[in-house]
Amino acid sequence: MEQPSDLQAVLDRAAAAGGRITPAEALALYTDAPLHALGRAADTVRRRRYPDGIATYLIDRNINYTNVCVTACKFCAFYRPPKSEEGWVRDLDEILRRCGEAVELGATQIMLQGGHHPEFGVEYYERMFAAIKAAYPSLTLHSLGASEVAHMAGVSGVPVEAAIRRIRAAGLDSFAGAGAEILVARPRTAIAPLKESGERWLEIMETAHGLGVESTATFMMGTGETNAERIEHLRMIRDVQDRTGGFRAFIPWTYQPENNHLRGRTQASVLEYLRLVAVARLFFDNVAHIQGSWLTTGKEAGQLSLHMGADDLGSVMLEENVVSSAGARHRSNRLELIHLIRTAGRIPAQRDTLYRHLVVHDDPANDPVDDKVVSHFSSTALDLQPA
């Protein structure tokens, strides 16, 4: 890619007028723009989009229904192969119990994630979603992703479109960005050779968007991709978003190096992460929200992301096992996230899955006092069925 000669002119065009920048310009900004100028430009775009000064957070729970997976991604420390003695399946009663706990603690969203179990087709997910919606109709099921859809459709022998229609009818509200990792072919094949291609991941998301099922888009940084491949990942998402408008938010996070086959041979620094957040805010003129990831980068970096274009600080995860299995040890609670947002000079607000404000914490005297709303870096139960 030819590098633009005047990076400040590119920043001014994107920040002042909201003009679209090219992938070549994005790469030049990512690698060479002065950090403070890059952050100022991204924050200008954020303030133009959200002049109320609000930054949001969510209360949710990630529930894993199985760790059995046939995909064997090299970066994953959570999965176990079929027939492993360490494989497990969580029964429906236990899933419902965890949903109930989440509701009691104020959660509005459940993210169901699991391995690609060789026996779990569309029918399994229909039963699970329908049971959760029947018991807790207020919960938003923001779950799974294109990879799980490809897998379940294959197990059941049905087209992807039919699988999406069926799980949506059963209660799925929207897709998570799960399985995106990096969409570019070379690094994706290196870390997840058995997973669908990045192009196929995007095709499935585009199909979902056409059926009225919105989603988020994610990016796992630091598994050996080049800077150009990082920007190419953004381009692939933006092109689909131009056609569908179905990606609600972009969420970059960093690869965690423990207990997996990559073993930390490559990682993204906090500085690389923050620069990517800023470039993403400038590049995604068609994506509404950019989410900071305190879970993988730490709370200080999460707070800094709010100065680099992010307008959301993610969630108080009442449960998270997948990234934690690979070494993410950062924990937080609702009061701490509110404090991080407020001391970044922003007004904290609890949101729902659609980014609607549920509670705006504009007066510290009225902040919540429930100290039970805390994140768990691992809470895998012991009472599990054999796989």
**List of residues 6+ apart from 186 with CB closer than 8 A:** 229
How many residues are present in the chain? 387
Q: What does the pLDDT read at residue 266?
A: 52
Domain locations in the chain?
20-382
Nearest partner of 108 among 297, 352, 372, 325, judged by Cα:
352
Separation in Å, CA 333 to CA 45, 56, 59, 183: 29, 14, 10, 32
pLDDT, residue 72, reads 72
pLDDT tens-digit profile of 153-164? 999 999 999 999
110 three-state secondary structure: strand
Q: Which among 7, 72, 67, 16 is positioned nearest to 37, based on CA atoms?
A: 7
CA–CA gap between residue 155 and residue 152 (Å, rounded) = 5
pLDDT at residue 17, as a whole number: 74
pLDDT at residue number 80: 85
CATH of domain 20-382: 3.20.20.70
Distance CA 278, CA 30 (A): 8
Report pLDDT for 384.
40
Q: How many beta carbons lie within 10 A of that of residue 79, not counting itself?
A: 22
Residue 335's pLDDT is 87
| Among the listed residues 211, 285, 203, the one whose alpha carbon sits nearest the alpha carbon of residue 25 | 285
pLDDT, position 263: 54
Residue 73 is predicted with a pLDDT of: 75
pLDDT attached to residue 136? 97
Q: What pLDDT was estimated at residue 325?
A: 41
- How does pLDDT run across 89-129, given as a tens digit for each residue? 999 999 999 999 889 888 999 999 888 999 999 999 999 99
Residue 114's pLDDT is: 84
CA 61 to chain centroid: 13
Quote the CA–CA distance of 146 and 196 in Å, as a whole number.
9
Q: How far apart are CA 189 and CA 293, in angstroms?
A: 25
Contact between residue 111 and residue 98 where contact means Cβ atoms under 8 Å apart? no
| Both tokens assigned to 322 | 């997948």
Output the pLDDT for position 238: 98
- Positions in the chain whose pLDDT score sits under 50: 1-3, 258-260, 262, 320-331, 376-387
Helix axes 227-244, 23-32, angle to 10 degrees: 140
